[in-house]
Chains A and B, each alone.
Chain A
Amino acid sequence: MEFLGSAMNELCFTQESNRRGRLGRRKVEYDDTREYKSKNLHAERRRRQKLSDRLLALRSMVPIITNMNKATIIEDAITYIQELQQNVKLLSDQLLEMEGSSEEAVQKRSDEINAAEEMKQCGIMEDVQVTNIDRNKLWIKIILEKKRGRFTRLIEAMTYLGLELTDTNVATSKGAMLVSSCVEGSYGDTLTVEQTKDLLLEIIKSI
């Protein structure tokens, strides 16, 4: 296909030269169009180059290739992609079949036991701190013991009670979870520090 491109180039050139030859007197007027044409030429050439580079890259990725023309590259790529998709489907079905083992439950419990112990060892206590930074914005910091699904329940409770977390940061260390967040009232009401702190302590106890 490069031949076609270069042939077209030559065609343009010959056309240009013809024009120049025939209407040589009007060189000045045609300068602009020629410049546009040449820019177009370059742009078109670059576009074709880009396409052919990518086609080359595509061909390099497909393991089984047949002919080396544009059409068959695309065809081979289509075939290969479909084959890969089939593979993925097959493997994921296989994986699904093999699902379901009894080992996981044991593992989970042992993790949680470790977490609680770690916390006690390091002396980390569950804690809540609330600071007012704006009329209705609060910064909160919560330290809680990490348990499976606890974070979800925390967020759930907070949103249910009208606390909207604008920015959140959660870090985990030694079996404890630190949640620091900027909180706003969901319903536009102002929150006081005391109220919020009590609320959060309640939440932590309940989850």
Chain B
Amino acid sequence: MYEETGCFDPNSMVEGPDGLSQVLKPPPPPVPLMAGSTTNSHNSFEDNIKLSAEELSYHHCNPHQEVDASAAMDIQLQNQQMAFNTHLMQDSSNQVLAFASSSLADASYTPTADLLNLFHLPRCSASSLLPNSSISFTNPTHTTPLGLVGDLPMTDTASASSILYDPLFHLNLPPQPPLFRELFQSLPSHGYSLSGSRDSSLFGGGGDDHVEGSGGGGLYQDGDGEQQFDNGVLEFTWDMACMGKGRKSGKITKHFATERQRRQHLTDKYQALRDLVPNPTKNDRASVVGDAINYIKELLRNVNELKILVERKRCARERRKRLKTEEDSIGNNVHESSSIMKPLGDPDQSFNNGSLRSSWLQRKSKDTEVDVRIVDDEVTIKLVQRKKINCLLIVSKVLDELQLDLHHVAGGHIGDYYSFLFNTKIYEGSSVYASAIANKLIEVVDRHYASTPSSGCY
């Protein structure tokens, strides 16, 4: 079967991807139930790989198909598989190259050395730790390795497809390939993005180079030799072969060469989580997770609060517009429209009043602790400072700036601390939110401490 490699005619293909295209070929034996799970990812590649899909169907293991499919359906599914293959290619590029270099020891595959240069082996950073960086590959504007791969026009590939397909058959394939599972895992992350950020990867669009960090890196560590390649090869073939099973799993497998790497990877993740949380205390794992839980709750509160505020602003704006048009229309002697519009304004207001805005958060800095609770339009601020500087003046200035009406203040000097409790009301029309208040307060108070010389008096 390997002889046919030579027959493969890479017509308009670049020399480099020669090996890649053939590596691309391995079709998963069973037809996946993936039809529903593919997103817009495959569309960009359909044209490029339609022909290859047709060829694949010749060699495709029909009995394994779990889905009754017409020929067209077959091809479409093949396309999707190919799409995933290509995606897989990009993310597991290292494994691919390993596979290529190890299994196809042909002279024609020297170009893989060039490809190696193309695939940037990344440092293990927080985001590269996350296999979700594989989301980036779905961006059709990618030009790096994926573009290379995607450009391959699949011509007659009857010969090529058989190459890698046969070996797969002989392997006893385990049902749950981690590689493919992780690939699918990346898909649901699409649901995360807001309306405005659909096209950008979750990590700032820098996902191009983020091949799965430690797994690929592990594979390519110099001096590790053939053994790792073999591991990668085996896992890769398992993964490719079992892709068709359509498991909704899906991060890219992390192939750790050693247990130590796995532990290190886990520690790095904990560190990344710690770095995200605003006030980390106690650098042990349980408290990191505890802080993360509290922070998530706080973020959810903030999001809800902001949503309510935005909604209110929008309704107010619309009401103003309506009032304005009313005035205009009155000016034009169209009284009917004004009478119609007024009842329309009420449902908006009632919606606003129905949703009670509430939020709570705490912020700590080196010497200051701020606790802000908001219920509807009443804000309760608790402030504790560890320096013997009276900040009542500073804080009341800040509260004026933030358009908060002081209703009640209680506090003073307690031992080494100054502690205050402010009950305030938000002036109508102001849309200040909890985190803004807290951040501003801490910033101003700390700045005040920094600027004044330390002394007993204010």
Binding site for B on A (CB under 8 A): 47, 50-51, 54-55, 57-58, 61-62, 64, 66-67, 70-72, 74-75, 77-88, 90-92, 94-95, 98-99, 101, 103-104, 107-108, 111, 148-149, 151-152, 155-156, 159, 164-172, 182, 186-187
B303 within 8 Å of A (CB atoms): yes
Residues of A with C-beta under 8 A to B393: 152, 155-156, 159
Residues of A with C-beta under 8 A to B269: 71, 74-75, 78
Q: Provide a sorted-by-A list of 24 A–B residue pairs whose CB atoms are within 8 angstroms.
A: A50-B286, A58-B292, A66-B251, A75-B251, A78-B126, A78-B276, A79-B189, A80-B296, A85-B276, A98-B310, A98-B313, A99-B431, A104-B427, A152-B400, A159-B458, A164-B390, A164-B457, A167-B411, A167-B413, A168-B411, A170-B406, A171-B407, A172-B407, A187-B457
Most buried by A among B250, B310, B314: B310
Contact between A51 and B286 (Cβ–Cβ < 8 Å)? yes
Given known contacts A51-B285, A74-B273, is B292 in contact with A81 (CB within 8 Å)? yes
Most buried by A among B197, B276, B296, B403: B296
Contact between A95 and B431 (Cβ–Cβ < 8 Å)? yes
Please pick, from A62, A82, A94, the residue contacting B276 in the complex, using a CB distance under 8 A. Answer: A82
Residues of B with C-beta under 8 A to A167: 411-413
Contact between B405 and A75 (Cβ–Cβ < 8 Å)? no
Please pick, from A149, A152, A186, the residue contacting B457 in the complex, using a CB distance under 8 A. Answer: A186
Contact between A81 and B285 (Cβ–Cβ < 8 Å)? no
Please pick, from A71, A75, A88, A186, the residue contacting B458 in the complex, using a CB distance under 8 A. Answer: A186
Contact between B289 and A58 (Cβ–Cβ < 8 Å)? yes
B108 within 8 Å of A (CB atoms): no
State A166–B393 Cα separation when bound (angstroms): 12
CB-nearest residue of chain B to A84: B299
Given known contacts A164-B390, A169-B410, is B202 in contact with A77 (CB within 8 Å)? no
Contact between B457 and A70 (Cβ–Cβ < 8 Å)? no
Within 8 A of A (CB), among B265-309: 265-266, 269-270, 272-273, 276-277, 285-286, 289-290, 292-293, 295-297, 299-300, 302-303, 306-307, 309
State A171–B132 Cα separation when bound (angstroms): 54
Residues of A with C-beta under 8 A to B303: 84, 87-88, 91
CB-nearest residue of chain B to A110: B428
Contact between B302 and A88 (Cβ–Cβ < 8 Å)? yes
B232 within 8 Å of A (CB atoms): no
Most buried by B among A50, A55, A88, A103: A88
A177 to chain B, nearest CB (A): 8
Residues of A with C-beta under 8 A to B285: 51
B396 within 8 Å of A (CB atoms): yes
Residues of A with C-beta under 8 A to B320: 101, 103
Residues of B with C-beta under 8 A to A149: 400
State A105–B165 Cα separation when bound (angstroms): 75
State A64–B431 Cα separation when bound (angstroms): 31
Within 8 A of A (CB), among B172-224: 181-182, 185, 188-189, 191-194, 196-197, 202-203
Contact between B293 and A155 (Cβ–Cβ < 8 Å)? no
Please pick, from B132, B290, B310, the residue contacting A95 in the complex, using a CB distance under 8 A. Answer: B310
A38 to chain B, nearest CB (A): 22
B433 within 8 Å of A (CB atoms): yes
B316 within 8 Å of A (CB atoms): yes
Contact between B410 and A61 (Cβ–Cβ < 8 Å)? no
CB-nearest residue of chain B to A105: B429
B144 within 8 Å of A (CB atoms): no
Contact between A67 and B251 (Cβ–Cβ < 8 Å)? yes
Residues of A with C-beta under 8 A to B429: 101, 103-104, 107
A114 to chain B, nearest CB (A): 13
State A198–B293 Cα separation when bound (angstroms): 56
Contact between A83 and B202 (Cβ–Cβ < 8 Å)? yes
Please pick, from A79, A101, A168, A182, the residue contacting B392 in the complex, using a CB distance under 8 A. Answer: A168
B302 to chain A, nearest CB (A): 5
Residues of A with C-beta under 8 A to B182: 66
Residues of A with C-beta under 8 A to B33: none
A7 to chain B, nearest CB (A): 14
Residues of A with C-beta under 8 A to B203: 82
A154 to chain B, nearest CB (A): 9
State A53–B251 Cα separation when bound (angstroms): 24
Contact between B293 and A54 (Cβ–Cβ < 8 Å)? yes
Residues of B with C-beta under 8 A to A81: 273, 276-277, 292, 295-296, 299
A183 to chain B, nearest CB (A): 11
CB-nearest residue of chain B to A103: B429
Within 8 A of A (CB), among B37-63: none
State A99–B131 Cα separation when bound (angstroms): 39
CB-nearest residue of chain A to B203: A82
A97 to chain B, nearest CB (A): 9
CB-nearest residue of chain B to A77: B292
Most buried by B among A78, A166, A187: A78
Given known contacts A85-B299, A92-B306, is B286 in contact with A172 (CB within 8 Å)? no
Residues of B with C-beta under 8 A to A84: 296, 299-300, 303
B408 within 8 Å of A (CB atoms): yes
Within 8 A of A (CB), among B306-325: 306-307, 309-310, 313-314, 316-317, 320
B146 within 8 Å of A (CB atoms): no
Contact between A155 and B392 (Cβ–Cβ < 8 Å)? yes
State A116–B156 Cα separation when bound (angstroms): 90
Given known contacts A83-B192, A92-B306, is B433 in contact with A75 (CB within 8 Å)? no
State A50–B292 Cα separation when bound (angstroms): 15
Contact between A169 and B299 (Cβ–Cβ < 8 Å)? no
Nearest first, the 3 A-B pairs at minimum CB distance are A167-B412, A91-B306, A170-B409
State A50–B284 Cα separation when bound (angstroms): 12
B386 within 8 Å of A (CB atoms): no
Residues of B with C-beta under 8 A to A47: 286
Contact between B293 and A58 (Cβ–Cβ < 8 Å)? yes
Residues of A with C-beta under 8 A to B436: 92
State A87–B409 Cα separation when bound (angstroms): 34
